[in-house]
Chain A
């Protein structure tokens, strides 16, 4: 009894606090009146109503009949499509289980969700939707609908289409798993019976994001407030106008245990010592087991107001540090190397040669041109007097200020400024000659050569340019800066990758100074350059060119080795001194997902080549991509994940039934007759009475 009371207080307290936060001013000015007789004030009453309301809501879960669009899907949902009214509704979610394996910076996420069609209606068309991160790859899927099983298989595209067509021709449920948008996974489900349960299992891999010293893993759980609120308001009219405008998503009450409803289990192999590991919005239990940390959700909250976010901070030292993970698969060894920048980076003492290239083609006209000029002028202020520099402009032709790079003295800078101010945007876009000019000079070993390429990114002959950069870049570094909203991201990032530099996008023209400052801080203080890995074997490595290490990003390298090699060496230059580290891999091959990550990187590379038409043999590339995709069970340009019905007979039957049901008309209703005799109970009672009689008879003797 006491427990109950404390718990109720707890909820009330929380709601009260929430209310206080929101309506602070209000409650200060108007002291709360108490009705003496009841000992209740209106606020308590409102809170009570709200509490009841949310408890009620918990039962109905995310069940909505109103219209909403795919943008509203912030967590896994089973939608039912109603032909009448063009509406989507959501089936009741019974349980969710999330199992996550994280290795360094790559996560394998396995999600199992069970839904219930608790209506009397057939769901003829349904769709499961789950928001995945933009860079996630779904590679496994399984649906269980009552007795039916539908499984995702990776097939070569033509074959997948054939399977799909065959299934459709036979009137079976089939779907090629599509991503309507890059961050939403969907698959179709047909003919869900009244009262039927549907279990969906999907597995995906996702590369996590490193930012300001920490890595975040995010699981989309939050239910969009917009979508929820709409429904609340519909039911709220009767409660009167005194109901505070609380957001559902603000609520963190803990009335109902939802442990059986939802579980999250994370196994984290961070690879580094961690200074902090925490869940941002949920209560978790963290345990350490060898190199792993296991994180388990212990939270019992009413509603997910937030996504589940796990954040950890690797301990960063003065020097760069690396972690190695390995996975053994089919006799081959897959290695992931993760190189982490040091806590802070110093400005290097090495002299630099900075070459600016500015796009003055017609497409830059207006605000973009001015922003590019600003960026350039800002850049000039960041050069030290000992450094050398040059400025090249190009449209149809390329022109440079100096024939060769010059010392950044006042005189030279003045000349450059005059040149820049006078720039006009006009003419075509011909990058080639400008790039050639920037890369032509002999590189003086004393100088670190950095090319900064400012453009709006409209390019046509990408393949040719990539080739040009690759052949001529030598020891120089190419940094691309895109100005404006819709630059050719692909070209800009790939060019930077080949040029061993980085890519910055200034989409908001007002941020030019800020972004350029960031870039120049980075340029003047690389943590490690010329990173090289001594694998001890011939490996297939990705990226093929290892970039320099800057303070804002770790370097990730995946490789496939023919066999296990315990010693791996890592080296590079930190300013003028050399840095090296060697690793002893323990041969456990326990880390998961590395082979897949390697294959994904490999496919991405090959697909780039294919798209560029850089290789003369497109068929060979296609074959290679297809082969890797099939072997590692991945979706690619040439393979699809197709949902295959494993129980076609059952599906046919269900379909027939659904159709019949639709046409069927209820002729009559009948009560269910009593369905048991109850002879067992009578027999039991009888035997008990008899044995009791016998036991009484015996006792006194």
Chain B
């Protein structure tokens, strides 16, 4: 009886640990493949899947110069895509367009650094060999049960992630939202 319980506990334990390990592995190892695909995109502007069975591609890159962080953004904010990197909401705009750009990421992996941002920080977005500089002008914590992201006809960037940052569990309804507006275009 004891043996069985040990085996069961061990099995569940290992399964949980490996599942979380698998998540992390997916999240970080995939970055190399995504980076490769992004480099190819930079050369000819075409869409490249990071791996052959992927149904997404890198659309643009976010750089946060002050905290020295960056993320390559995948198209489509499905749960599967977000497991690999920060993801772009498909019906939102793209940097440089006259429409709000929305990017979401996980607070415990790709977007963990959102908590380090400060008002006035610059965010550089690169797309189609052009750079657009955004400046953070507002933070907000909202309840996703009662609020929706407003996609407006203006060139602003919205980054979202789960909140609070240090919560162990997943599935909460609070979201941390960063608002930045376009202040410059370069190149």
Question: Footprint of B on A, CB under 8 Å?
Answer: 146-147, 193, 195, 649-650, 653-654, 656-657, 660-661, 663-693, 696-697, 700
Taking a contact as CB atoms under 8 Å apart, the answer to whether B9 and A653 are in contact is no
Taking a contact as CB atoms under 8 Å apart, the answer to whether A665 and B153 are in contact is yes
Chain B residues positioned under 8 Å from A690 (CB to CB): 9-10, 13-14, 17
Taking a contact as CB atoms under 8 Å apart, the answer to whether B151 and A675 are in contact is no
Taking a contact as CB atoms under 8 Å apart, the answer to whether A672 and B147 are in contact is yes
Known: A670-B102, A675-B107. 11 other contacts (CB 8 A): A650-B119, A664-B154, A665-B152, A672-B160, A678-B170, A679-B24, A684-B168, A687-B13, A689-B9, A691-B13, A697-B2
Known: A657-B181, A686-B20, A690-B14. A664 touches B6 (CB 8 A): no
For the complex, what is the distance from the CA of A693 to the CA of B2, rounded to whole Å? 9
- Across the interface, name the chain B residue whose C-beta is closest to A672: B144
Partner of B181, one of A656, A682, A689: A656
Taking a contact as CB atoms under 8 Å apart, the answer to whether B138 and A679 are in contact is no
Taking a contact as CB atoms under 8 Å apart, the answer to whether B10 and A679 are in contact is no
Chain A residues positioned under 8 Å from B100 (CB to CB): 667
Min CB–CB distance B77 → chain A (angstroms): 5
18 chain-A/chain-B pairs, Cβ below 8 angstroms: A657-B179, A664-B153, A672-B147, A673-B77, A673-B82, A675-B104, A675-B107, A675-B163, A675-B176, A676-B107, A677-B83, A677-B170, A678-B169, A679-B20, A686-B16, A686-B17, A692-B13, A696-B9
Known: A657-B181, A693-B6, A697-B6. A681 touches B142 (CB 8 A): no
Taking a contact as CB atoms under 8 Å apart, the answer to whether A672 and B109 are in contact is no
Q: How many A-B residue pairs have CB under 8 A?
A: 169
Give chain B's interface residue range (CB within 8 Å of chain A): 35 or more
Interface centre among A657, A664, A670, A686 (most CB of B within 10 A): A670
Taking a contact as CB atoms under 8 Å apart, the answer to whether B168 and A681 are in contact is yes
Known: A670-B91, A672-B142, A675-B106. A686 touches B19 (CB 8 A): yes
Taking a contact as CB atoms under 8 Å apart, the answer to whether A683 and B16 are in contact is yes
Min CB–CB distance A165 → chain B (angstroms): 26
Partner of B154, one of A193, A654, A660, A700: A660
Secondary structure type dominating chain A contacts: helix
Within 8 A of A (CB), among B1-42: 2, 5-7, 9-10, 12-21, 23-24, 27
Chain B residues positioned under 8 Å from A664 (CB to CB): 152-154
Taking a contact as CB atoms under 8 Å apart, the answer to whether B120 and A649 are in contact is yes
Partner of A672, one of B6, B156, B175: B175
| B129 in contact (CB, < 8 A) | no
Within 8 A of A (CB), among B66-91: 77, 79, 82-83, 87, 89, 91
| B59 in contact (CB, < 8 A) | no
Taking a contact as CB atoms under 8 Å apart, the answer to whether A683 and B10 are in contact is no
Min CB–CB distance B72 → chain A (angstroms): 17
Known: A657-B137, A666-B151, A690-B13. A674 touches B170 (CB 8 A): yes
Known: A676-B106, A690-B10. A669 touches B150 (CB 8 A): yes
Min CB–CB distance A652 → chain B (angstroms): 10
- Across the interface, name the chain B residue whose C-beta is closest to A692: B9
Taking a contact as CB atoms under 8 Å apart, the answer to whether B83 and A693 are in contact is no
| B50 in contact (CB, < 8 A) | no
Taking a contact as CB atoms under 8 Å apart, the answer to whether A675 and B119 are in contact is no
Taking a contact as CB atoms under 8 Å apart, the answer to whether B109 and A667 are in contact is no
Partner of B108, one of A663, A677, A686: A677
| B135 in contact (CB, < 8 A) | yes
Chain B residues positioned under 8 Å from A147 (CB to CB): 119
| B126 in contact (CB, < 8 A) | no
For the complex, what is the distance from the CA of A700 to the CA of B6, rounded to whole Å? 13
Taking a contact as CB atoms under 8 Å apart, the answer to whether A668 and B83 are in contact is no
Known: A653-B135, A690-B10. A673 touches B19 (CB 8 A): no
Partner of B17, one of A146, A653, A670, A683: A683
Taking a contact as CB atoms under 8 Å apart, the answer to whether B170 and A681 are in contact is yes
- Across the interface, name the chain A residue whose C-beta is closest to B26: A677
Chain A residues positioned under 8 Å from B2 (CB to CB): 696-697, 700
Taking a contact as CB atoms under 8 Å apart, the answer to whether A693 and B10 are in contact is yes
- Across the interface, name the chain B residue whose C-beta is closest to A682: B20
Taking a contact as CB atoms under 8 Å apart, the answer to whether B137 and A674 are in contact is no
Partner of A668, one of B108, B151, B154: B151
